[in-house]
Amino acid sequence: MKIIELHIENFKRLKAVTIRPGENNVVEISGRNAQGKSSAIDAIWAALQGSSALRNTPAPVRKGAEKAEIRLDLGKYVVTRNWTATGNTYLTVTTGGDYKAKLNSPQKLLDNLVGDLCFDPLAFTRLGDKDQADMVMSLLKLDLGDLERQREDAYEERKAVNRDISRAKTELDGLPKSEEGLPADPINVSALLQEHEAALQETQRLNAVLTKADTLRKQLAEAEEQLRKAQERVERMKVELDAAETEAEKVVYPDVEAIKRRVDSAGETNRKIESAHKRRDLESRLAALAEQTERLTQSIDATCKAKQDAVAAAQMPVAGLSFDLDSGRLTLNGVPLKQASRSEQLRVAVVMAMAQHPELRVMRIEDASILDAESMAMLKQLAADNDYQLWMEVVDESGEVGIYIEDGEVWSSNLPDAPDAGVLPTTPVTPEVTEEELL
């Protein structure tokens, strides 16, 4: 569906203009600055989109007029939109042909006719990298969200595991290396202390025995002088002495100092054993963490490859257009789209707009005057190949380019295959139905 006829009265700078594109895929609206050429193209989108297309146009009615009217004949539908000088606006959409039936919910119908980028395809080039990529993915019905979430989850888990590895390595590096010959289990210091205490008690007991023997000897020496008076006592003491000496002969002193040295060294040995156990535990943990991070890395690589395979399998609307999955931006022939030439960006934007497949195959190209011959030829070829109607605004003073507008009116038409394009009707065009739907 394309524009068969555009009729405008008293809209912005225009007085009365009728344009019939005929079979032309490219409609150039030309003229000097401030003569109404922008108003002519604005009128198309004002008729289709109403107030959303006029955010920066608080007064669409030409100064001095009571109302403005735009009538778009799309063949299948006829769109008529009016504005009054008091600020009211009315929209009527009827079916085309001889029988004209008024349609309900006209704005909703018009919204479904037009693609998001048709009004301004270059808006695509002004989008951020992520928004551009999201639009292409939406167009391709390519949803990488689940894969990206899987990659992010695995990536965050791997970061946590790698932090654990770093901490474990730092702790391991701070431990001394395990000495050879260490006992497998810690020394029982408590048992050694008990042994040491028993040895001390035995030493005290034996010392007491020796002391007693010495005392008896002294007593014997004294008793010898009193032998005659204390024979019984002497005999008794001899018996006791013999017993004490017999026991003294059996005395074997424990090596108290050796036991003390063993007690002292047990703590150091146990610390080494504990360090060795801790080192083995950390080495085992590091091995497990390394295995875990390798598994997560494989998971990340798998999701990245799945994303790459999905992108590789997608049918891109433009040859050479692709995604840089690391940065999330679009690329053209391997270069970020933002760095492509203006002509290349324009081609991508126009093809993107066409790829949305709107029912109304009409598109606006602003500032077409700055396009070189190659870019203009490219746009014309795209329009012809895809059966689109491109409306372009061109600054020109010769009056020999496209529909030439001067002082709000068509002065000349230079469209091929459309000899009546731009010719004003002899009587004003009036909608076939009343304008009674107030928006």
22-35 pLDDT per residue, tens: 888 888 888 888 88
Average pLDDT over the chain, rounded to an integer: 82
348 or 123, which is more confident?
Answer: 348
| 8 — pLDDT class (breaks 50, 70, 90) | very high
What does the pLDDT average to over 404-424? Answer: 71
- pLDDT score for 268: 82
- pLDDT score for 429: 37
Sequence length of the chain is 439
351 conformational bin, left if phi > 0, alpha if psi -120 to 50, beta if neither? alpha
**pLDDT, tens digit, 9 for 90 and up, residues 332-364:** 888 888 888 888 888 888 888 888 777 888 888
For the domain covering 1-114+360-439, report its CATH number: 3.40.50.300
421 or 77, which is more confident?
Answer: 77
**pLDDT, tens digit, 9 for 90 and up, residues 84-113:** 998 899 999 998 766 677 888 888 888 888
Strands 16-19 and 26-31: unpaired
Dihedral of CA 379/384/387/393: which sign?
A: positive
- Residue 10 CA to residue 94 CA, distance in Å, equals 22
Is residue 417 pLDDT above 70, yes or no? Answer: no
Domain edges within the chain: 1-114+360-439, 117-142+316-357, 146-313
Strands 362-365 and 5-9: unpaired
Is residue 57 pLDDT above 70, yes or no? Answer: yes
Of 180-184, 206-210, 256-260, highest mean pLDDT: 206-210
Of 7-21, 171-185, 239-253, highest mean pLDDT: 7-21
**pLDDT, tens digit, 9 for 90 and up, residues 233-250:** 777 778 888 888 888 788
| H or E, element range at 267 | helix 256-313
| 427 — pLDDT class (breaks 50, 70, 90) | very low
- pLDDT score for 283: 85
- pLDDT score for 260: 82
| 176 — pLDDT class (breaks 50, 70, 90) | confident
pTM to 2 decimals? 0.59
Residue 35 pairs with which residues in a beta bridge? none
- pLDDT score for 99: 63
CA atoms within 13 A on the CB side of 145: 5
**45 near 70, Cβ under 8 Å?**
no
User: Cβ contacts of residue 221 below 8 Å, gap of 6+?
Assistant: none
Is residue 68 pLDDT above 90, yes or no? Answer: yes
| 418 — pLDDT class (breaks 50, 70, 90) | low
- pLDDT score for 435: 36
| 10 — pLDDT class (breaks 50, 70, 90) | very high
**pLDDT, tens digit, 9 for 90 and up, residues 285-342:** 888 888 888 888 888 888 888 877 777 777 777 888 888 877 878 888 888 888 888 8
